[in-house]
Chains A and B, each alone.
Chain A
Amino acid sequence: MIRLEGVTRLYGTVKAVENLSININEGEVCVLIGPSGCGKTTTLRMINRLIEPTSGQIFVNGQDISQVRPEKLRQSIGYAIQSVGLFPHMTVGANISVVPELLHWDKGRIARRVEELLVLVGLDPREYDGKYPNQLSGGEAQRIGVARALSADPPILLMDEPFGAVDPLTRERLQVQFIDIQKKLKKTIILVTHDLDEAIRLADRIAIMASGKLIQYDTPEVILSKPADKFVHDFIGTDRALKRLSRIGIENFVRVSPSIELGASIGDARSICKRCRWVWVVDKDKKLLGWIDRASLAGAVSVAEAIVTVDRDAVAITSGATLKEALSRMLSQGLNNLPVVDNQGYLIGEVTLGDIEVATKETGV
């Protein structure tokens, strides 16, 4: 989809980007990452010709972009930046309409598109359409920035630290939303960040750059498990085992585990515990209530008496979570086993510390 061939950009004698060749596949999220001054933003801005390469060629859909008029090229590539750059004198709706208007869409189509995009980024169109940027929170402004970048439904999206200027909590929400939107839209996205966790979370492929050169370009899994050289190794840091876990979903590690209903007999509980040491207790709707283990069984005459109740939201983890989240919940709750629930809150099994350990060993970290 996008191909850079031997691209070099000089500033005086300084090589901002040096002989960079990279191929970005259609529908993939490619994250450019590296220390500041590594040339990642320059690379991004060369793709929509905000910066011209000193030498080398860039192809989008097989076409050499130096042959395309910059305005036309940019209208077909979405562009979102860290400081958002919303036009302060225009309403949210007008901001999103800029590119469709440049493309001479008719009014009705633009209005429909604005509404559609506001819904997509999770903002109520009736409330937000007429607002001005100075009435938005940082997170809302970022989302409008993304909506604006998507306005003309471009196949390619360039994003320069799009979640950089917001607090960590908002950033995480925006990232989750980003993953959601990308699942639906399947755009080709090039995203610049200096946040490795963000890169690992969002990327299909990560391009690690240093002093204008591409050091390693691969999937997050490979980069974490087989760093190309010492630089990448150091850049990833010593906790790459942990980072690795954030790429692995728990769904493959869920074990079927015994459970009994609150109304079951204490004898059943005893017999299961003899086999398995503990048993989850659920209500009639299969919602988690707590557990029973050998210690709590001692002297109890009913399941209700033996149960150790738990705060369902704090303990149970949903099947869509990652192993990293599971691990961190185990540590914070002091448990070796976590109950796993589906989106409706029904108990579907458990995940154990032992399995996570095995997972880290298997992937060779």
Chain B
Amino acid sequence: MLLRLANRDNVAVAGSLIGLVSLLLAWLTLKPNRIAAGTGLPIWEGFDWTGAAIIIALWITSFGLSLAGKKRPQALGLGITANVIIIVSFLFTGLSAARLLQQGSAAAARVSLGAGFWVTLVGAYVVIFGARHVIGEPRLWKNLIAWTGLSVTVLLLLTGWLNNLSVMQEFIGREERFLQELLQHIFLFGGSVVVGTIIGVSLGIWAARSRRTEKPVFYFSNITQTIPSLALFGLLIAPLSALSFSFPMLREIGIRGVGPAPAFIALVIYSLLPIVRNTYVSLRQVDPAIIDAGLGMGMSRRKVFRKVEVPLATPIVLEGVRIASVQSVGLAAVAALIGAGGLGWFIFRGVGQAANDLILLGAIPIIILALVVDATMRAIIRVATPKGLAGVSQ
């Protein structure tokens, strides 16, 4: 027994403890109206006793498993348990929200998620993170454990199971706006990363090739990275409005001091550093002996670049694009402040109205978007990493 305890999965233990602590906090908040402060309900009042008992039992199971050793079977058990916790929590949330609203007298009453619920989610994902590490290959189990909880949640959202939650009530009636801002958000970060990649990779290659450009390129991309995002947006307003003032044609295609144009440009500039840096490093880390061998065998300089340097550099360049993408998803939220739209619009509107649920309506999709972008890029990097090079990029 002692031996087993010594061999416990510390990450999962921490996650389970977070989960157990969450049981003491308020799980649902009942508010008389949209912006009023609500009363927190503990899990046994928020959910009925059945729900509470199931979740408590699941967390105790998780804690037990995490102490039982750091092996594959335990890790699989932990991963499954954590996903069940997430799914069950959302299932009961839907049921309980409907029940609480029926009981309540006020017509404008709202039910929103409390601290306990969020902390349980955090705990569950800490457990999942730990379990994924232990499981290793094959990839299928890792992915199932990472994504099942989230997928079921999205499914519940789409079927309307969670419509009685106040976040969803903010959403209902704003579907069109939501879709529009979501697309705008994707356009802002996606477009800027594409443009940033084209410019960044070129600059990176340039810097890696010539000692003279190396310094100014990095000076520029380092400095821009240190400017706070809001300041950079602001900085761009003046020159852009001057430009559009002197060239009315630019105004016609939508380039003004405020709006998407400065936001887009700023996001492009931010995405440069990780991409430039990784491109530069990826080319510089190619063993000179490999290039020497290629040239010595009679490959032309261009062929060495295409057949040797590019395949060896690609995973690292893509890693830079991944960092830039995830960062850009978050930064694009700030773009709403200068009228560029995007999911940030809900956040700032929510802050203005002191309506927390409206903030969440912007924030949660941004988080999910970031996770999806991150996972997609990781998958792309895995595919693009040449066999025989495994372990270099990760």
| A interface list, Cβ under 8 A from B | 48, 50, 70-76, 79, 81-91, 98-99, 102, 132-135, 145, 148, 158
Of A88, A102, A134, A135, which is within 8 A of B297 by CB? A102
Closest to A73 in B: B298
Contact B389 A88 (CB under 8 A): yes
Listed stretches B31-39, B189-197, B255-263, B286-294; interface member: B286-294
Chain A residue contacts of B290, Cβ below 8 A: 85-88
Q: Known contacts being A98-B297, A102-B298, is A89 close to B289, with CB within 8 Å? A: no
Report the minimal beta-carbon distance from B252 to chain A, rounded to whole angstroms.
49
Contact B299 A102 (CB under 8 A): yes
- Taken residue by residue from 273 to 313, chain B's Cβ proximity to chain A (1 for < 8 Å, 0 otherwise) reads as 00000000000000101111111111110010000100110
Chain B residue contacts of A82, Cβ below 8 A: 289
A-B contact count (CB 8 A): 74
Chain B residue contacts of A90, Cβ below 8 A: 388
- Taken residue by residue from 307 to 336, chain B's Cβ proximity to chain A (1 for < 8 Å, 0 otherwise) reads as 010011000000000000000000000000
Report the minimal beta-carbon distance from A37 to chain B, rounded to whole angstroms.
19
**Bound complex: CA A135 to CA B381 (Å):** 22
- Taken residue by residue from 48 to 92, chain B's Cβ proximity to chain A (1 for < 8 Å, 0 otherwise) reads as 000000000000000000000000000000000000000000000
Report the minimal beta-carbon distance from A55 to chain B, rounded to whole angstroms.
23
Contact A89 B293 (CB under 8 A): no
**Bound complex: CA A73 to CA B298 (Å):** 7
20 contacts between A and B (CB under 8 A): A50-B292, A50-B296, A72-B298, A74-B296, A79-B296, A81-B289, A81-B292, A81-B293, A85-B289, A85-B293, A86-B293, A87-B294, A87-B308, A89-B389, A90-B388, A102-B297, A102-B299, A102-B303, A135-B388, A145-B293
Contact B388 A98 (CB under 8 A): no
5 closest Cβ pairs, A-B complex: A85-B293, A132-B388, A75-B298, A89-B386, A74-B298
**Bound complex: CA A248 to CA B303 (Å):** 47
Closest to B308 in A: A87
Chain B residue contacts of A75, Cβ below 8 A: 297-298
Interface presence of B212 (CB below 8 A): no
Closest to A132 in B: B388
Of B292, B298, B386, B387, which is within 8 A of A99 by CB? B298
Chain A residue contacts of B293, Cβ below 8 A: 79, 81, 84-87, 145
- Taken residue by residue from 359 to 394, chain B's Cβ proximity to chain A (1 for < 8 Å, 0 otherwise) reads as 000000000000000000000000000111100000
Contact B297 A83 (CB under 8 A): no
Contact A71 B298 (CB under 8 A): yes
**Bound complex: CA A207 to CA B299 (Å):** 30
Contact A89 B311 (CB under 8 A): yes
Closest to A131 in B: B388
Contact A89 B387 (CB under 8 A): yes
Chain B residue contacts of A99, Cβ below 8 A: 297-298
Closest to B295 in A: A50
Chain B residue contacts of A71, Cβ below 8 A: 298-300
**Bound complex: CA A81 to CA B294 (Å):** 11
Chain B residue contacts of A145, Cβ below 8 A: 293
| B interface list, Cβ under 8 A from A | 287, 289-300, 303, 308, 311-312, 386-389
Secondary structure at the B interface, as helix, strand, loop or mixed, is helix
**Bound complex: CA A148 to CA B290 (Å):** 13
**Bound complex: CA A75 to CA B299 (Å):** 8
Report the minimal beta-carbon distance from B189 to chain A, rounded to whole angstroms.
31
Report the minimal beta-carbon distance from B315 to chain A, rounded to whole angstroms.
10
Q: Known contacts being A85-B289, A85-B290, A89-B312, is A74 close to B389, with CB within 8 Å? A: no
Chain A residue contacts of B295, Cβ below 8 A: 50, 74
**Bound complex: CA A134 to CA B295 (Å):** 21
Chain A residue contacts of B388, Cβ below 8 A: 88-91, 132-135
Report the minimal beta-carbon distance from B299 to chain A, rounded to whole angstroms.
7
Chain A residue contacts of B289, Cβ below 8 A: 81-85
Contact A132 B387 (CB under 8 A): yes
Closest to A94 in B: B388
New contact pairs (17) apart from A72-B298, A145-B293, CB-CB < 8 Å: A48-B296, A74-B295, A74-B296, A79-B296, A81-B296, A83-B287, A85-B292, A86-B293, A87-B290, A87-B308, A88-B290, A89-B387, A90-B388, A91-B388, A132-B387, A134-B388, A148-B297
User: Chain A CB within 10 Å — which of B293, B296, B298, B386 has the most?
Assistant: B298
Report the minimal beta-carbon distance from A160 to chain B, rounded to whole angstroms.
9
Report the minimal beta-carbon distance from B390 to chain A, rounded to whole angstroms.
8
**Bound complex: CA A42 to CA B303 (Å):** 24
Closest to B391 in A: A134
Chain A residue contacts of B389, Cβ below 8 A: 88-89, 134
**Bound complex: CA A86 to CA B386 (Å):** 14
**Bound complex: CA A136 to CA B303 (Å):** 26
Chain B residue contacts of A48, Cβ below 8 A: 296
Closest to B312 in A: A89
User: Chain B CB within 10 Å — which of A74, A87, A134, A158 has the most?
Assistant: A87
Report the minimal beta-carbon distance from A92 to chain B, rounded to whole angstroms.
10
Report the minimal beta-carbon distance from B254 to chain A, rounded to whole angstroms.
44
User: Chain A CB within 10 Å — which of B293, B300, B312, B386 has the most?
Assistant: B293
Contact B299 A98 (CB under 8 A): yes
Chain B residue contacts of A76, Cβ below 8 A: 298
Chain B residue contacts of A148, Cβ below 8 A: 297
Report the minimal beta-carbon distance from A177 to chain B, rounded to whole angstroms.
21
Chain A residue contacts of B296, Cβ below 8 A: 48, 50, 74, 79, 81, 158
**Bound complex: CA A75 to CA B297 (Å):** 6
Report the minimal beta-carbon distance from B283 to chain A, rounded to whole angstroms.
15
Chain B residue contacts of A72, Cβ below 8 A: 298
**Bound complex: CA A83 to CA B286 (Å):** 13
Chain B residue contacts of A83, Cβ below 8 A: 287, 289
Chain A residue contacts of B300, Cβ below 8 A: 71
**Bound complex: CA A83 to CA B293 (Å):** 9
Chain A residue contacts of B308, Cβ below 8 A: 87, 89
Chain B residue contacts of A91, Cβ below 8 A: 388
Report the minimal beta-carbon distance from A94 to chain B, rounded to whole angstroms.
10
User: Chain A CB within 10 Å — which of B297, B300, B388 has the most?
Assistant: B297
